Amino acid sequence: MRIVASLTTLPGRVWGLGVMVDSVLRQTRRPDRFVLQLPEICRRTGESYPVVGGFPDGLEVRRCGCDWGPATKLVGALEDEHEPGTAIVTLDDDVEYAPCLLADLERWAEELPKSVVGMVGGSMFGGYSKLTHGEEIDVPQAVGGLGGYRGVLYRRWMFDLEQVRAELSELWAEGPFLADDTYFTSWLERHGIPRRVVPPSWKPGGNVAGVGFLKRSDSIYLGPGAGGEAIEASEKLMARKHAEWLAGAKA
């Protein structure tokens, strides 16, 4: 299986990715391609992304043009990965990942080739409450949606890039859209693709095995025009749009 690991970030966070990047480069199963997707302009802040260099060997920096917010990490990979069977693993920029993550996702993706797999999930529009973590289960568990912060493995065949762009354009037309996990959950639900939380091979104590969250002053949850309110607004918009798109598909 070919694995492409993809992430995006904000302009002010580009130079603070070292810990996260190192955790991916230390994976027991290294990605075949590891890409940082950088748009030209950040829609949220209006800032230009800096010209970057000096990252470790193994991380590719790709200028991807349009900024789709957090969804850029998947959309950017869809733009230049065309083989239907390619696995695209989306990652967040503020997490230090356990070294077995990609190996575990690959193993379960091979066993569940028609499903999207991840390490945490819950209800479709439930935010981050009542979650199931992989460490709590021994067999894969079907969920409404997967939490992207712990890594999610998709296959390229699951998406129509032009339709994804069109739908994201509708969402962004109403303001900054930050609920990428919920949007992609909606897409998968509407296209009949199962989502499953899978157990990791390494299970030390605690609910979030081997995952460290990096402290950042410029989190999407902080700052004017962002924060929890922006996330909540995006979630409400997504719930409404999901219902509209479902109704349109049935008409």
Name the fold adopted by 3-250: Spore Coat Polysaccharide Biosynthesis Protein SpsA; Chain A (3.90.550)
pLDDT at residue number 1: 96
Domain ranges of the chain: 3-250
pLDDT recorded at residue 26: 96
pLDDT in tens, 187-229: 999 999 999 999 999 765 443 445 566 655 454 444 434 456 7
Q: pLDDT tens digits, residue range 161-171? A: 999 999 999 99
Q: Which of 246, 130, 225 is nearest to 177 (CA)?
A: 225
Quick: pLDDT tens for 28-72. 999 999 999 999 999 988 999 988 888 889 999 999 989 999 999
Cα dist. 213→23, 45, 92, 230, 236 in Å? 12, 23, 10, 21, 26
Determine which helix (DSSP H) or strand (DSSP E) holds 230, and give its type and residue range.
helix 227-250
**Exposure string over 28-44, b if 16+ CB within 10 A, otherwise e:** ebebebbbbbbbeebbb
Angle at 215 between CA 212 and CA 217, to 5 degrees: 160
- Cα–Cα distance for residue pair 11/45, rounded to 1 Å: 9
| Cα 59 → chain centroid | 17
- What pLDDT is stored for residue 68 in this prediction? 96
Q: What is the pTM of this model?
A: 0.91
